[in-house]
């Protein structure tokens, strides 16, 4: 079978954006590839090709690059995306060699590319899973003076990147107000370790009668404000002061996953998220 890559399908007769299947069929027909031949190249059934071309289903994501290569179509064009880019010189060279192969050799190349793509995607996702961690998010924010009341609502969870700081943390809590500046800033989150004890000079997360606060411990193990302009009033023995954790650092923007990574991470951590919800989320 001879394939002429110079022949492009005429799509000017169709108004608007063509559907995936229609565009795929136009390119296949223009390159004089039958449904059976394309099915053999992709190691799928002819019915699968028919379903793709009638938009009853879509190819698996790891088969898209191979399909684009065979049909000589840009990925962006296939999905009606803007910003279509031309093939690089190296990609064109590889495609030229591919077209010189016999059908059996083409099938071997397709199988190899699909196998390598699977390995690359699996390795990438494994690295992503190893580089991130699921964190407990306290439902109440923390302040320097009077903190937020401890709510009845359930905690939530979030996925953050592992760092030398975050990897030691048990959870994060939101800072409320500017009364702890310049140490902690309004709206940011800080990491903490679950503990009921801390050494002098360390900052602690404390449940009080007035809510959740962040305080520093002095040499006499007395709590004081991290902002000297807003001293922490002396407490009586009847006041509730319970250390819940030790603050170990701030959550930076670089600790958060990119928006495009979130769907993948949510899938990779689906079991952990389900276990968290079963443990903490109220019915």
- For residue 158, what pLDDT is reported? 94
89 pLDDT band, cuts 50/70/90, is: low
Task: Report the C-alpha gap between 243 and 208 in whole angstroms.
Answer: 9
Task: Based on the fold, state whether residues 143 and 275 are members of the same structural domain.
Answer: yes
Task: Based on the fold, state whether residues 164 and 97 are members of the same structural domain.
Answer: no
Chain-wide mean pLDDT for the chain? Answer: 77
Residue that the structure tokens 């002396």 belong to: 234
Quickly list DSSP for 22-73.
Answer: HHHHHHHHHTT--HHHHHHHHT--HHHHHHHHTTS----GGGHHHHHHHHT-
Task: Report the C-alpha gap between 234 and 239 in whole angstroms.
Answer: 10
Task: Based on the fold, state whether residues 273 and 161 are members of the same structural domain.
Answer: yes
The domain boundary residue, chosen from 82, 105, 129? 129
Is residue 2, in this structure, part of any structural domain at all? Answer: no
- For residue 181, what pLDDT is reported? 72
Task: Characterize the bridge pairing of strands 171-174 and 132-137.
Answer: parallel
Q: What is the mean pLDDT of residues 100-108?
A: 84
Task: Based on the fold, state whether residues 76 and 198 are members of the same structural domain.
Answer: no
Task: Based on the fold, state whether residues 158 and 210 are members of the same structural domain.
Answer: yes
Task: Based on the fold, state whether residues 208 and 143 are members of the same structural domain.
Answer: yes
Task: Based on the fold, state whether residues 48 and 123 are members of the same structural domain.
Answer: yes
Q: What is the CATH number of the domain that holds 93?
A: 1.10.260.40
Q: What is the mean pLDDT of residues 193-220?
A: 83
Give the angle subtended at the CA of 199 by the CAs of 196 and 205, to the nearest 5°: 45
Task: Based on the fold, state whether residues 56 and 168 are members of the same structural domain.
Answer: no
Neighbours of 280 (CB within 10 A): 13
The total number of structural domains that make up the chain: 2
For residues 132 and 217, which has the higher predicted lDDT (pLDDT)?
132
Q: Judge contact between 38 and 29, C-beta under 8 A.
A: no
Is residue 14, in this structure, part of any structural domain at all? Answer: no
Q: What is the CATH number of the domain that holds 241?
A: 2.10.109.10
Please, what is the end-to-end C-alpha distance for the chain in angstroms? 62
Domain carrying residue 97: 20-129
pTM for the full model?
0.54
Which residues, other chains included, contact 159 with Cβ-Cβ below 8 Å and sequence gap of 6+? 132, 133, 134, 135, 257, 262, 265, 266, 269
Task: Based on the fold, state whether residues 77 and 161 are members of the same structural domain.
Answer: no
Q: What is the pLDDT of residues 190-202, one digit of tens each?
A: 999 998 888 888 8
Is residue 261, in this structure, part of any structural domain at all? Answer: yes
Q: Is the pLDDT of residue 237 over 70?
A: no
């Amino acid at each position: 079978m001879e394939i002429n890559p110079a022949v492009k399908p005429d799509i000017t007769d169709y108004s608007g954006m063509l559907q995936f299947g229609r565009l795929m069929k136009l390119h296949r027909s223009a390159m004089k590839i039958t449904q059976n031949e394309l099915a053999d190249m992709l190691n799928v059934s002819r019915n699968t090709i028919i379903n793709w071309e009638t938009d009853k289903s879509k190819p698996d994501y790891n088969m898209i690059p191979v399909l684009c290569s065979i049909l000589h179509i840009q990925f962006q064009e296939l999905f009606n995306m803007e910003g279509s880019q031309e093939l690089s010189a190296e990609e064109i060279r590889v495609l030229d060699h591919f077209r010189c192969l016999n059908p059996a050799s083409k099938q071997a190349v397709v199988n190899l590319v699909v196998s390598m793509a699977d390995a690359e995607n699996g390795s990438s996702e494994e690295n992503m899973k190893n580089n991130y961690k699921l964190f407990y998010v306290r439902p109440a924010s923390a302040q320097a003076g009077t903190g937020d009341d401890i709510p009845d609502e359930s905690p939530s969870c979030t996925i953050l990147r592992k760092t030398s700081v975050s990897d030691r943390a048990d959870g994060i809590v939101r800072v409320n107000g500017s009364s702890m500046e310049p140490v902690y800033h309004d709206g940011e989150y800080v990491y903490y370790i679950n503990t009921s004890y801390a050494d002098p000079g360390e900052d602690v997360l404390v449940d009080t009668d007035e809510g959740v606060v962040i305080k520093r411990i002095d040499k006499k193990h007395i709590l004081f404000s991290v902002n000297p302009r807003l001293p922490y009033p002396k407490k009586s023995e009847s006041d509730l002061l319970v250390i819940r954790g030790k603050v170990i650092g701030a959550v930076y923007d670089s600790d958060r996953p990119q928006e495009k990574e979130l769907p993948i991470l949510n899938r990779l951590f689906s079991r952990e998220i389900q276990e968290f919800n079963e443990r903490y989320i109220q019915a």
